[in-house]
Chain A
Amino acid sequence: MTIEFFAGRYPYILIAVLLAIGLYGMTMKRNLLKKVIGMTIFQTAIYLFFIQGAFKQGATIPVYTEEFGTDPTLYMNPLPQVIVLTAIVVGVAITGVALSLLLVTYRRFGSLDEEVIIQSMRESA
């Protein structure tokens, strides 16, 4: 039973694992860069979810070709792919901002360790 359970759903399980890793990285790691990496993994998991959802066996890319004709079931669903593209753009922007913030923080505090920074902020407050 377990084999079928996994075989049919392995993409989703992978996605769930990635989500968990991402969240773990964001919360448990002290190093800010590692947190950002965790965030990226988290986001990637979500992209994979959409791509996976759009996938159909035996279907081709959603560009009209003569052989496949007008039957929609033979083409993969373009909408989730578009969603993913947009989400990736958003993710890039967020990561970019995150990294610049990281730089500024490093310049100001001299460290990327969360605990050290919090301590430093408390002292100067």
Chain B
Amino acid sequence: MSQLPALIPTTLILAGLLSLLVGLRSLRAGHLIALTGTVVSFLVSVIGLLEVTSSGQPIRYALGGWIPPIGIEFVLDHLAAYMTTLVTGIGVLVLIYAPRSIRHESPGKAALTYPSMALLVAGLAGMSITGDLFNLYVFLEIAALAAYALLATGRRGGAFATLRYLLIGAVGGGFYLLGVGFIYFSVGSINMADVAARLPELLESRSVISGAVLMVLGLALKMGLFPLHFWMPDVYTNAPSSSAALIAPIMTKVSAYAIVRLMLDVFPPGFFTEALPIAATIGWMSAAGILFGSIIAIGQQDYRRMLAYSSVGQIAYVGLGIALANPIGLIGGLLHIVNHALMKGLLFLIGGAIQWRTGLVRIPDMVGLGKKMPWTMYAFVIAVLAMVGIPPTAGFFSKVYLMIGAVQADAWVWFAVIVLSSLLSAIYFFRMVEFVFRDVEGAEESADDSATGGVSAEELRGAVAGEVPPSMFIPIAILSAAVILVGVFNFLIVRALLEPAVAPLLGG
């Protein structure tokens, strides 16, 4: 059982490597290996989650048997289990979905995509469970490299957008690493628990302060916190749908998680709020980001660009939760990690489905799509209801908790920002809903959309209800159900996972 945390990333890494080797021979086998690895990793995460919630104790694993703080350790506690389950779960769904989508959008790259996906999930999962500051950097970069591979295979501008992302990511990673260096040289350790134990005496030190700032800055860059978000729109727009569907929901979130981890378990309580105005800065940047993302999203014509700007706003909600630094606000932010992952993942999967079936990517072209792809559009409505925050979907609850947290912290401006942004998101999403369900004169329900870049009538055989193949439909259906169920049962997640996670805030 104590070996369990290690299984999560290692299974994925092995699966990734194997998938690469085998995939060059047989695409199907390569895909299957990657998928199996992710499924195993997911199951292990779930087992770990159950174990941690029932025993209340984190599971610790020392790599190579070297005892921490000398060695590197993995710590699967409530928050970590929460993140890995999310990351691996999304990984499973997207891997099921990917083959058809990739074949359609970026044929010939499939052999490389599956291993990259496995490695991406490995990196993010590893980031979530590591108990070592430098190890976090390593996994962060593993994930980043895998992401670059996934994103670059997109259409025309893909390589360039990814290059820009790479440069910025390198800076972000670099700042984080520099920060780790400052901390190490002041404290003498890079093990999180050890640093936490030793820091309190050294808080006045300038290098500790610089270290903290640099680490947070680096992670904020990776997170896409306004105004450090500028790489996001181009990257998501030019990426293949399945890559975007994997990266958008989870990548930025794990960086946000890393900031939370720093705030709660590494630095002493209050350091981010009283000693340094880190929380407040994040808060104001988040508030700006929320508004910015929501406003700019309104004018977008390309579906994926709209989702990208929306994501800028949404990750800022998590940032706001961090900034509020009170239990319910932070719970709102953490819950939003899962909620947004589910909602955005669903939206990107739907986008890929639309692209598969019809080849369309621009919203104005999608008029009347409800006739051709009704079930997909119903899923879209569910996603929209969740994004806007209509109960009882998941999106409603995280927003309410954030609002409550804002009131409790007397942060009335932020409170107004949350309220306003909900309204704004309603505008750009409902505009699309209405568009899609309009009765268009002469809209033929042709089965052959190869003219617009979609599939031909032949390829459409075997599709569910004439829309998309089962391998794409099932993940969409699962996510739609999840969006509602996570909403209705959100308090289970809060009780079991998030409340213990934020316990340090209450002076623990």
Contact = CB atoms under 8 A, between A and B. Distances in A.
Touching chains A and B, CB distance < 8 Å:
yes
Interface of A: 23, 26, 32, 35-36, 39, 42-43, 46, 49-50, 53, 79-80, 83, 86-87, 90, 93-94, 97-98, 101-102, 104-105, 108-109, 117, 121, 124-125
B148 A26 contact: no
B141 interface: yes
Contacts of B160: 101, 105, 108-109, 117, 121
Interface size bucket, B side? Answer: 20 to 34
B114 to A, nearest CB: 18
A46 B171 CA distance: 11
B432 interface: no
B174 interface: yes
Given A49-B178, A97-B145, A23 B184 contact: no
Contact of B181 (A26, A39, A50, A93): A50
B181 A80 contact: yes
A54 B134 CA distance: 16
Contacts of A108: 156, 159-160
Give chain A's interface secondary structure class. Answer: helix
Given A46-B178, A53-B181, A108-B159, 16 more contacts: A26-B167, A26-B171, A42-B170, A46-B174, A46-B177, A53-B184, A79-B184, A83-B184, A86-B138, A87-B137, A90-B137, A94-B170, A101-B163, A102-B163, A108-B156, A121-B160
B491 interface: no
B166 A49 contact: no
Interface of B: 134, 137-138, 141, 144-145, 148-149, 152, 156-157, 159-160, 162-163, 166-167, 170-171, 173-174, 177-178, 180-181, 184-185, 190, 302
A2 to B, nearest CB: 20
Contact of A124 (B156, B167, B178): B156
A86 B180 CA distance: 14
B167 A43 contact: no
B141 A94 contact: yes
Give chain B's interface secondary structure class. Answer: helix
B156 A101 contact: no
A109 B156 CA distance: 9
Q: Which 7 A-B pairs have the closest CB atoms?
A: A104-B159, A101-B163, A90-B141, A105-B159, A121-B157, A53-B185, A105-B160
Residue among B137, B144, B145, B177 with the highest chain A CB neighbour number at 10 A: B177
A83 B167 CA distance: 21
A98 B145 CA distance: 10
Residue among B137, B138, B157 with the highest chain A CB neighbour number at 10 A: B157
A93 B147 CA distance: 13
16 contacts: A35-B167, A39-B170, A43-B170, A49-B178, A53-B185, A80-B181, A90-B137, A93-B145, A94-B144, A94-B170, A97-B149, A97-B166, A101-B148, A104-B152, A105-B163, A125-B302
Contacts of B134: 83, 86
Contacts of B177: 46, 87
Given A35-B167, A42-B174, A121-B160, A94 B145 contact: yes
A12 to B, nearest CB: 11
A90 B138 contact: yes
Nearest to A53: B185
A54 to B, nearest CB: 9
A50 to B, nearest CB: 6
A63 to B, nearest CB: 17
B193 to A, nearest CB: 17
Nearest to B185: A53
A32 B138 CA distance: 26
A101 B166 contact: yes
B171 A101 contact: no
